[in-house]
Structure 1
Amino acid sequence: MTDTPQRIAVVGGGTMGRGIAQAALTAGREVVLCDVSEAVLDKARETIDGGLRRLVDKGRLEADAAEAALARLSVTTRMADLADATVIVEAAPESPELKEGIFRELDTVAPEAILASNTSSLSLTRLAEVTGRPERVVGMHFFNPVPVMPLVEVIRARQTADKVVETVEALARDLGKTPVRIGDSPGFAVNRILIPMINEAAFVVEEGVATAEAVDEAMRLGANHPIGPLALADMIGVDVVVAIMEVLQQGLDEAKYRPCPLLRRLVDEGHLGRKSGRGFYEYPPKGR
């Protein structure tokens, strides 16, 4: 049986990093959350506290267990504080240069840790190459919202050791997730299928075939999707959708992966979805 890590570090205090940290805390793990911004870390702690309280309100977690979970969380702006973590999950923005820089630093400060990336589309083989222990680099692609979504895509780099894959799969199961092994290809499995669908939905709107509301209602009622593709784009982040389409276009060299100009215009205007308050839809501070 594979031993599962008890002390986990998460790099990146944004939406995904906070969600991964909450899932690990709820599963009884000690978590250290690292970000360059004190303000982001303060917001992350507040958000995690709120998430744990909602679990208590729904009867899914005892109040004392929620307090104990939050007590297991520590935050830091210093990467050196992650040295004793068994697994470090990088959840930084989807930039190859940024992620490679983080992996180079982690390779130095935490030489024994498994380095996992929450990348949604980038090459794990390339990330592994910037470290001195590529066999201990792996992908753990969680889905938003992390405390709710059950899937973790486990992406094996060309260099990843069997033991590392088995360890992160066991960890995912202990966090209440279902790990699915996926090959290291642009977009992996889910996003290679999902993001082009969102892109095509944007083309339908841009070409005047249907409104965003009509597209989403049609896909909910006609394809039995729980949320329409354009509302989902707002949840994911329109900028993230564009970034993944660019990775698919570059990695697979296919014209069909060209990002829809409407998506690019939304990004240029700062309309990134829920996180900016407006995307295909508007989101007042307390909800849509």
Structure 2
Amino acid sequence: MKRVTVIGGGTMGIGIAYVAAQAGGEVTVVEPGNERAEAMMRTVADAAQGAVSRGKLSASGASELIGRIRRVASTSDVPLREDVIIESVPEDKALKLKVLTAAAARSPRLLASNTSALSIDRLATAVADPTIFLGMHFFNPVWSLKLVEIVRGGATAEAAVDEAREIGRWMGKETLVVLDIPGFATSRLDLIASLEAIRMLESGVASAEDIDRAATLAYRHPVGPLRLSDIVGLDVRLDVARALERAHGSRYAAPPLLERMVSEGRLGQKSGQGFFSWPS
């Protein structure tokens, strides 16, 4: 049994906690907000029940999975010397630095950030021992998508990369290793497709539904770029676009439509309205 801590009970944190518990891990989730913590456990229970209905889990297995996840309100309550602590808070550099400093103080064997775009080397400045620190970029929905992108920082030890690969395999994931270059590999590929889809919608090439149908039917993508943007959050898309534009130039510039939708609060699934409607 591996001991895993996930910091952040949002969409990605819930998914990481779920797959770790599904693998048999003893999982601690740091989530300060009581309301969000309650929502997190409801989501875990719903996902486990869905697995039962699909024949993936027995009823007793689902109950055991849920029982392996516990919530604490502060990183100071995390047990010492966990096998891995995975930070999964919003893509705000100052927040991540603060969280990682507190996480490193718990002396885990491996410390990882689930960032999709921020520099691992910059985040490593918050960590006392950067040799154990790297990126472990999961994909939403975590329980369905099989990839974990491992991001090697300049100070990351080879043993830490090997450990991250092993943890990924234990969670039932495939892994790839990339260097700490803005956007890594997957975020650059994903974002450039999404921005082009938004530009196509903006210029009237086709409807949002048909642009996404082109991606799913012609290229066998499991979900179209506009619907995926809604799931990720259009505010997150905008933040990542701005960061990659600074790093790689104007090809990552955010379309005016994206800027406008974010300013109007149309953030996708989280707000109920984005390129598509999302009933609560």
Matched, 1:211 2:207: yes
The 2-side partners of 1:17 and 1:280 are apart by 25
Residue 174 of structure 1: aligned partner: 170
**Displacement after TM superposition at 1:121 (Å):** 0.9
The 2-side partners of 1:115 and 1:38 are apart by 25
1:62-77 map, 5 Å: 62-77=58-73
Aligned with 2:244 (options 221, 226, 248): 248
The 2-side partners of 1:151 and 1:6 are apart by 20
The 2-side partners of 1:92 and 1:179 are apart by 21
1:116-135 map, 5 Å: 116-135=112-131
How has the CA–CA distance of structure 1 residues 260 and 149 changed in structure 2, closer, same or farther, with 3 Å as cutoff? same
The 1-side partners of 2:219 and 2:69 are apart by 41
1:204-258 Cα offsets, whole Å, 9 max, x none, are 1112222212211222333332322111111111111111111211222x11111
Alignment-mate amino acid for residue 181 of structure 2: S
**Contiguous gaps of at least 5 residues in structure 2:** none
Matched, 1:38 2:34: yes
Aligned residue pair count:
279
Whether the 8 Å contact between 2:110 and 2:163 is mirrored in structure 1 is no
Residue 259 of structure 1: aligned partner: 254
Alignment-mate amino acid for residue 272 of structure 2: G
SS of corresponding position for 2:270: helix
1:42-84 Cα offsets, whole Å, 9 max, x none, are 1111110111111111111111111111111110111111132
Alignment-mate amino acid for residue 177 of structure 2: R
Whether the 8 Å contact between 2:6 and 2:86 is mirrored in structure 1 is yes
Residue 235 of structure 1: aligned partner: 231
Aligned with 2:278 (options 271, 280, 283): 283
Alignment-mate amino acid for residue 21 of structure 2: L
Residue 105 of structure 1: aligned partner: 102
The 2-side partners of 1:89 and 1:65 are apart by 24
**Displacement after TM superposition at 1:114 (Å):** 1.7
**Alpha-carbon RMSD:** 1.3
SS of corresponding position for 2:107: coil
Whether the 8 Å contact between 1:21 and 1:31 is mirrored in structure 2 is yes
Aligned with 2:92 (options 81, 95, 106): 95
Q: Percent identity?
A: 38
SS of corresponding position for 1:173: helix
The 2-side partners of 1:74 and 1:218 are apart by 42
SS of corresponding position for 1:104: helix
Residue 58 of structure 1: aligned partner: 54
Matched, 1:270 2:261: no
Whether the 8 Å contact between 1:150 and 1:176 is mirrored in structure 2 is yes
Alignment-mate amino acid for residue 283 of structure 1: W
Whether the 8 Å contact between 1:128 and 1:135 is mirrored in structure 2 is no
**Displacement after TM superposition at 1:39 (Å):** 1.1
1:186-219 Cα offsets, whole Å, 9 max, x none, are 1111110111110111111112222212211222
* TM-score between the two structures when normalised by the length of structure 2: 0.96
**Displacement after TM superposition at 1:112 (Å):** 3.8
Whether the 8 Å contact between 2:30 and 2:73 is mirrored in structure 1 is yes
1:112-132 Cα offsets, whole Å, 9 max, x none, are 442100001111111112211
Matched, 1:14 2:14: no
Alignment-mate amino acid for residue 103 of structure 2: L
The 2-side partners of 1:78 and 1:219 are apart by 42
